Structure 1
Amino acid sequence: MTAAERVVLRIARPWLSRLVGAGLLAAGTELAGLALMATATWLLITAAGQPPVAALTVAIVAVRTLAIARGVLRYTERLAGHDAVLRIITEVRARIFATLSSRPTRATDRSGDALSRLVSDVDAVQDLLLRVLVPGAAAGLVAALAVLGAGLLSPPAALPLAAGLLLAGVLLPWLASALTRRTAAEVAPLRGALAVDAVDLTAGAADLAAFGATDAALAKAAGRAAELARLERRLALVGWAVDGAGVLLAGATAAAVVLTALHAGTSGTLVGVLAVGTIAAVESALALVGAARQRTQLGTALSRVSVLLADPSPDAGVAAVTGTPGLDAVSVTYRSGAAPALRDVTLRLPAGRRVAVVGPSGAGKSTLLAVLAGAVRPDSGTVVGAGDPHRVGGLFADAHVFHAPVRDNLLLARPDASDDDLAAAAAAAGFLDWVQNQPVGWETEVGEDGGQLSGGQRQRLALTRALLLRPEVLVLDEPTEGLDPGAADAVLAAVLAATPGAIVLVTHRLNGLDGFDEILVLDAGRVVQRGRHADLVARPGWYRDQWSTQQGYLAIAT
């Protein structure tokens, strides 16, 4: 048993009795089918001799009973198995969602891949239990009882039957697993990559079209889809070949059992029963071939799931540290061998302190906010307040707006907020006038990802939600993006006035920063300048050059 399978079974432990019950029902179903075939064969052969009807009554009733029992047992087994598995899947998905939503961001955490882990990879857990564990256990039990039954009818015939069942239940499953292992290992990651392509093509359709990259993106996705289809065809071909070998094995085993029984002097009626029973028993054991093939195909997907289930604590975010929020000698590197995104950054954020973070694109500004919020784990240094949204929280560049009314989007920050609280936060963000002008006010639907709002309105809604949270440290990543200069200055001033706690503002606009206590200039992850607006404007460097450029643009615009 692999480590991934042990993780799944550990989670399934509370429902293990239900799974055992489903396995016993599955075994009962197979045994009912096997007994039905054997009894019906005896009945037909015996009836050919035209005995008294009374001699056939028990067999007739048994055939009817077994036929009904098989259907009832199959239905009950499906009901019990799916009941147990759906309970387990609910727990697994809840745990994976909690891990994905709380752990530090990684370079590989693309939304399509996360969706693939949460949906198709979790389905692998369901398949492991319903298509591998339950039928595999049932097939093993039925095989053992079939050999015992054959031994009662003709002891010598039990030996070739046992040999055939071993070949069908051990050799063929091993062969199927060996032939599909390498191909199956490539399927799950490829499905995840294809899910990423689908998300990129859907969510980024406008950007791809604007840059003429749609055809290239489609070709890339089509190439992955073709490769996935090729691998699945290969798996299907191997399955067809192994299944064909299983059919031949069933026939060969039945022939061996018949010859052995005849040689032992077994009556013709019982020989016929043994022949048909052997075919049914071997076919039941061949379920282990399908289970082995399925298990191999699920291996990679189960590994991807188990990574998120085994021990989420190391990736659960940055542990909260008591004291004044801030950073102390923090460094972050996203990938081995890459340049650090942050290098030895220290920042203190007592209540009421206003800090602006500026610098060229790619300097590490958004990474600094993500570290403060606990979304990214630093490689070294200490972060105080991270991981607690009531200590550090706010507006980030990727803030999501849900397909729901304005009120529901805002109450995510503070579910107990009153209409007065909503109005105060919306007024500070410059969003209240828009809300009051809507026919249904706070109940206005904003559309998928805020699609019914303009860019500026969407930004104001996200800013309102951040203000409503009222954390000790309010972090704002380009809060006035999409607003005209006059509105941006007014909104920033209102936010500063409405926030009693500390503020960390990431921005490209240098207007309005003269009221900040400190301005950090980042470049390549390092703090290259820090001080108040007046001091930085007086010093040579990036800040003074950028300030002069922006003032020139404003002069031209006015």
Structure 2
Amino acid sequence: MKTFIRLTAIVRPYFWWMALAALIGFATTGSGIGLLMTSAYIIAKAALQPPMAALQLGIVGVRFFGLARGVLRYAERLVSHNTTFRILAKLRLWFYDALEPLAPARLLHFRSGDLLQRIVDDIQSLENLYTRVLAPPVTAILVALLMWVLAGTYSLQAALLILCFHLLAGIGVPLLTMLLGRGLSVGIMNRKTDQQLLALDLIQGIGELQVYGRLAGHLEEMRSVESAKLQLQRKNAIVEGLQESLTGLLMNGAVLTILWALIPIVSTGAMNGISLAVITLAVMASFEPFIPLPAAVKHLEADRHAGKRLFEILDAKPETSSPAAPVPFPANRAIKIEKLSFTYPGSLTKALDSICFSVPAGQHIAIVGPSGAGKSTITSLFMRFWNSSEGGISIGDVDISLLDPEELRRNISLVSQRTYLFAETIRENLLLAKPDATDEELRKALSQAGLINFASKLDEWIGQHGMKLSGGERQRIAIARIVLQNAPMIILDEATANLDGITEKEVTDTLSSISRGKTMITITHRLKAMDQYDNIIVLDKGKIVAQGVHENLMNREGLYHRMWELQHATPAVLTEVPE
């Protein structure tokens, strides 16, 4: 119930629109009832062969209610769907606004396929919250009150009997189908989630599955999940058929009961036969808004489950947050790291252990070390994806925790090992760095990044994750973003790790060219062109084991020297010595 209350609070701003749609829905059903009542009146009255003038009221009523029913149905659909789409848009924006501060720290515990299921299908499921959960009961209650008034004018007993059948149709049948179908909607949603996770694993890991001989087992698991989902859907279809049959049975029972209750009144002359026919058909029509109620209970279960899954993410506290009164970004771009320590949640080993170093404004430094040394952790802390356990990072003597995170990231250009490109055009991917950039600025950025041939392909689609581009081209797109962003600080986190030697040198030269006069931190385990850096910091197991320029570090017999020798050693040429 708590989840449902929280969901209804989200749609509360649209209360009057929902009320208007419910009122029009009631008027639509009322027009249907009026159409049958006036039709019954004409047929029953005409059987008595009255003057034509006596039928005029019924004729006008049929025309009016017939036209009104169509117009009102259109208006109800227009208002209800407009309201639903507004609610859905609000839900998506609300979820993204709440999700964005959680990335990436708080989202590491969720698989990407599961997140996609929650973002797309679970939110899509909530579109039923109004049209199929909140609106139908309101319409049914209003119609029940209308029938109470109509039947009560002739017989209180008849009104009570109709009310009893309406209660059975509005409460009894939904409760019964809820008990019979308990867990079916949630089970189907869970199987769909499992299918999406398995499909994503198949697409992304088909090579590994083939290498380790697990492809056949994975496909069998997918078939098993599909079979389980189909079995649940069959059970759900049986329950849906049962609820429709029960509602129809109650409608027929109500008709027979109302005849049983009113025929004695007709025989006494207190009510004529025409009125009996009119009320009987009105009772039949009054069950129309009760048909969706069992489905409303089913959708309520699905919506509560979807809401629970969404709130499971949104209730998580962001790892970092913006200060109440952010300090303006300092003009001094000097970076200072003092006694910085960090331990990842669930780990007993420090990723960084009391490291200290500084980067004067405009200098280029490199942070090197073996994999797992803690190099990329520095990037995560610098971008405020995580908060440090101890110590801190300052820019111009201002601790970055006092800065607005968005302002901080706007002043830092980051190129990581894996450049993420959206399944969009080159233009759209570049505009992420500068949304108001002109075509001339985009072409200039591509030219500086070594992609002059792409200047005429701005509106070319690059495929999912940029798969139509090579690894070097994707990294150059990232460099073009740096040019457009024009931030005073640049961080390169293994930016050339996956490139071949020739492409790596071209990308490195381009980066050196566009970073002149800017502060640049290069994080890498590949020691190439190290003499161009003003300072080199060597990390091992989260600690700084050495720092200095390339020549000084090579003169020491330390980790840096061993890494250099290992990466630049010339393979020995083995020759066969004749006997």
Instruction: Give the TM-score range, shorter chain.
Output: 0.7 to 0.9
Which runs of structure 2 are paired with 1:279-358 in the superposition (5 Å)?
Answer: 279-306=284-311, 314-315=317-318, 317-319=320-322, 329-334=340-345, 337-339=346-348, 342-344=351-353, 346=355, 348-358=358-368
Match in the other structure for 1:372: 382
Shift of 1:70: 1.3
Match of 1:503 in 2: 520
Whether the 8 Å CA contact 2:375–2:539 is kept in 1: the answer is: no
Match of 1:401 among 403, 416, 421: 421
Greater C-alpha radius of gyration: 2
Partner of 2:577: none
Contact 1:325 1:473 in 2 (8 A): no
SS of the equivalent of 1:506 reads strand
Query: Bigger CA drift: 12-21 or 72-81?
Result: 12-21
Change (3 A) 1:487 1:289: closer
CA shift, 1:76, in A, is 0.8
Residue 28 of structure 1: aligned partner: 27
**Inter-CA distance 535–555: structure 2 relative to 1 (3 Å threshold):** farther
When structure 1 is superposed on structure 2, of 53-62 and 323-332 the one drifting more is 323-332
Shift, 1:412, TM fit: 2.4
- Amino acid of the structure 2 residue aligned with 1:356: A
> Are positions 1:521 and 2:546 aligned together?
no
Quote the Cα distance in structure 2 between the aligned partners of 1:31 and 1:37.
10
Matched, 1:552 2:562: no
Structure 1 residue matching 2:522: 3-state secondary structure: strand
Segment of structure 1 superposing worse, 136-145 or 372-381:
372-381
Mean CA deviation greater in 222-231 or 356-365: 356-365
Seen in structure 2, the aligned counterparts of structure 1 residues 330 and 55 have a Cα distance that, compared at 3 Å, is farther
User: 1:361–1:439: structure 2 CA closer, same or farther, 3 Å change rule?
Assistant: closer
Give the CA RMSD over aligned residues. 3.6
**Structure 1 spans left out of the alignment, 5+ residues:** none
Q: Distance in 2 between matches of 1:479 and 1:555?
A: 31
1:415: how far off? 3.9
Match of 2:434 in 1: 414
Between 226-235 and 150-159, report the one with greater CA deviation. 226-235
- State yes or no: 1:140 paired with 2:156: no
Per-residue CA deviations over 1:33-78 (Å, capped at 9, x if unaligned) read 1222233233333333333333222113212321221121111100
Is residue 90 from structure 1 mapped to residue 89 from structure 2 by the alignment? yes
Q: Counterpart of 1:133 in 2: which secondary structure?
A: helix
Within 5 Å, give how 1:182-197 maps onto structure 2. 182-197=183-198
Q: Deviations over 1:60-106 (max 9, x none)?
A: 32123212211211111001111122122222222323443443221
Secondary structure at 2:520 match in 1: strand
Mapped pair 1:12 → 2:16 = no
Q: Which amino acid aligns with 1:247?
A: G
Deviation at 1:480, TM superposition (A): 1.4
Counterparts in 2 of 1:173 and 1:248: CA distance versus 1, 3 Å: same
Aligned match of 2:280:
275
Task: Tell me how far 1:493 sits from its aligned partner.
Answer: 5.1
TM-score between both structures, scaled by the size of structure 1: 0.84
Rounded Cα–Cα distance in structure 2 between residues aligned with 1:232 and 1:125 = 19
d(CA) in 2 for partners of 1:119, 1:399: 24
The answer to whether the 8 Å contact 1:180/1:296 transfers is no
How far has the Cα of 1:130 moved from its partner?
Answer: 1.2
How many angstroms apart in 1 are the aligned matches of 2:253 and 2:308? 38
Deviation at 1:357, TM superposition (A): 3.9
Alignment partner of 1:471 out of 462, 471, 487:
487
**CA–CA separation in structure 1 for the residues paired with 2:556 and 2:177:** 72
Q: Percent identity?
A: 28
Displacement, 1:423? 7.3
Task: Give per-residue Cα distances to partners, 1:522-557, cap 9 Å, x unaligned.
Answer: 43xx3363423566656677555433321226788x
Alignment partners' CA distance in 2, 1:46 and 1:540: 112
Distance (whole Å) between structure 2 residues aligned to residue 553 and residue 222 of structure 1 = 52
Check conservation: 1:357, 1:506, Cα contact below 8 A.
yes
Query: Aligned partners of 1:78, 1:236: CA distance in 2, in Å?
Result: 26
C-alpha separation in 2, matches of 1:178 and 1:19:
29
AA matched with 1:480: T
C-alpha distance in structure 1 between counterparts of 2:50 and 2:482, whole Å: 88
Query: Is 1:460 aligned to residue 460 of structure 2?
Result: no
Cα deviations by residue, 1:377-430 (Å, 9 ceiling, x for unpaired): 6667656265432233311234222455545433421345578866776577xx
1: CA distance, partners of 2:49 / 2:459: 81
Structure 1 pair 241/501, CA: closer, same or farther in 2 (3 Å)? same
Number of residue pairs the alignment of both structures matches: 545
Shift in alpha-carbon separation, 1:121–1:345, aligned structure 2, 3 A: farther
TM-score of the pair, normalised by structure 2: 0.81
